[in-house]
Structures are given as C-alpha cells and as structure tokens.
Amino acid sequence: MSESLVLLEIADGVALLTLNNPEKRNALSRAVLQQLLEKLQQIADNSDIQAVILRANGPVFSSGHDLRELVGRHKEEYTSLFQLCVDVMEAIRKLPQPVIAQVQGIATAAGCQLVASCDLVVASDNATFATPGVKIGLFCTTPAVALSRTIPPKKAMEMLLTGHSLSADKAEQIGLVNKVTTQDTLATTTMNLAKQIINASAATLATGKAAYYEQLPHDYPEAYRLAKNAMVDNALADDAQEGISAFLEKRAPRWKNTASKPAKC
C-alpha cells in the first residue's frame, strides 16, 4: 500500500495527483506527505505539465494528520513531521504550474490546509471544510497560515476557534472555493477549468503565479515595485512578444514554452 498512497498520471499537459488511501480517510501521514512532496518535485521538473489537479479517492478528500503519529512522540518527531507538512504546502505554492484542488468530500485540519494551499478549488456540493483541532486540544496553527491568506481573517478565526464545518456553498461565499458543482460533474468541471488555464503559455503562467505570491504579503508600494519588475521581465520573454504580435496580427499565438496546442483567439 505504501507504494501507492499518492498516484500521478499525466495527460495532455495536466497532471492528476491523487491521494490514494481511502481506508485511512486519506490522512496526511508521514508516508503520504513524503510521497506528495516527491510527486510535486517530479511535476516541477516536467516541462510537459502545465497544470495540476489534486484530488482524492474515496468519500473523504483528507482528514488531516494521522493522529496516531501525534501521540507519545518526542519533540524532534513532531518537529520533523510538521516541517514535512509545511514543505508540501510550500511546494504547492512554489510550483511553477497552477494547482487546482478537486474536493469531493470532507477536508479537515491539514486536509483543509492542503485545499487552501492550492491556487484554485473546485468542490462538489456535498464537500465540507473544517479546522477542528481545537476540539482535541491541538489548535490548527499551521493550517491557519494558508487559511488566513485565503479567506477573511474573521472567518478564518471562526473556523479555527469553533472547529465548525463549512458547506461547499458557504466556502464559496467566503472565497475558499472557486466553483461548486455536483458530484457527477466535479471531475469534468475541474478538468475544463484546467484546460482553460493551459491554453496560455506555460512560461507566462509560471511567471504570473510566482509574482502573485511574491507581492501578496507586501504593502502597495513594495507590491507594485515587485509587480512592475515581474512585468518588465515578462514583456521581454519570447511568449509575451509572440502573444502580443499574434493579437495585433489577429492570429492564434504559437507559444514557445507550452505543451498544449496553439491557443484559440
């Protein structure tokens, strides 16, 4: 089982990264986190991949940390486990390719953190989201990092302090989820979103994603300085010159840095 806790498939420029331990509610055990990190590193190094869909097998997206790994351990073990989790979340943020979470069920604690760490989220209408660590005496402090940067602070604190679940519709209202759909159409809706994204230049997507997260924590003057520099570098890139020229010439651009077919105007 340990060899297949996380699956990776690649088709037409989209990587399908699947949590594959439904019997354990896709808990983010040390083994799962390690395999997730390895797969994310493989994706980062693969120029044929332009977008990633992160999904899960079974009725639960992820129940968070495996609580059996959080009982009676030494400080060094807790430190290394939480650092591994941080490394996974940061790998998603720093990945050149956009990552879309496809949430078919419950996402709690570090599972909710995993969702919040993704760039976009599509959820089925029966999905729920919660950070219930406070109920068992372990506040969801690391999940709070991703959550507080995704939804309004007061809503994040409400989730963290009460541990109450949010429905998919409510999660969409506060910005944790981009789209809500039925269970039957979840996979199709998510893939369609990925296909819209990969119509663009892979190099442009990578540049834009990196710049977005770089400027996000700064005040306006510094954010604009970083954004301006990123746009200058972007404007000098081959695909920007090609895209602008194609628009002016009323033709489809032919991206140099992409695995997809020429974009449609």
What per-residue confidence (pLDDT) applies to 3? 62
How do strand 106-108 and strand 60-62 relate by DSSP bridges? parallel
| Residue 100 pLDDT > 70 | yes
146: pLDDT confidence band, cut at 50, 70 and 90? very high
- DSSP letter for each residue of 100-142: EEEE-SEEETHHHHHHHHSSEEEEETT-EEE-GGGGGT---HH
What per-residue confidence (pLDDT) applies to 213? 96
* CB-CB contact of 125 with 180 (8 Å): yes
Q: What percent of the chain has pLDDT over 90?
A: 95
* CB-CB contact of 96 with 259 (8 Å): no
Report the C-alpha gap between 178 and 53 in whole angstroms.
Answer: 14
C-alpha distances (whole Å) from 264 to each of 199, 242, 254, 256, 261 are: 8, 14, 10, 15, 9
| Residue 200 pLDDT > 80 | yes
- Does 3 or 162 have the greater pLDDT score? 162
Evaluate whether the domain defined by 2-198 bears CATH number 3.90.226.10.
Answer: yes
What tokens were used for 33?
């986190």
* CB-CB contact of 147 with 113 (8 Å): yes
Average pLDDT, the chain: 94
Considering the chain, tell me which residue range(s) the CATH 1.10.12 domain(s) occupy. Answer: 202-248
C-alpha distances (whole Å) from 248 to each of 47, 244, 251 are: 28, 6, 8
What per-residue confidence (pLDDT) applies to 257? 61
| Residue 196 pLDDT > 70 | yes
Number of neighbouring beta carbons within 10 Å of residue 210: 15
| Residue 1 pLDDT > 70 | no
Q: Per-residue pLDDT averaged across 80-101, rounded?
A: 98
262: pLDDT confidence band, cut at 50, 70 and 90? very low
Query: What is the dotted CATH code of the domain comprising 202-248?
Result: 1.10.12
The pLDDT tens digits of the residues spanning 166-184 come to: 999 999 999 999 999 999 9
The pLDDT tens digits of the residues spanning 126-142 come to: 999 999 999 999 999 99
- Does 7 or 260 have the greater pLDDT score? 7
How do strand 6-11 and strand 14-19 relate by DSSP bridges? antiparallel
148: pLDDT confidence band, cut at 50, 70 and 90? very high
Q: What percent of the chain has pLDDT over 70?
A: 95
How do strand 128-130 and strand 99-103 relate by DSSP bridges? unpaired
The pLDDT tens digits of the residues spanning 215-260 come to: 999 999 999 999 999 999 999 999 999 999 999 999 999 998 644 3
Whole-angstrom Cα Rg for the chain: 19
Considering the chain, tell me which residue range(s) the CATH 3.90.226.10 domain(s) occupy. Answer: 2-198
| Residue 264 pLDDT > 60 | no
Report the C-alpha gap between 153 and 173 in whole angstroms.
Answer: 14
Report the C-alpha gap between 88 and 155 in whole angstroms.
Answer: 24
| Residue 18 pLDDT > 70 | yes
What per-residue confidence (pLDDT) applies to 256? 87
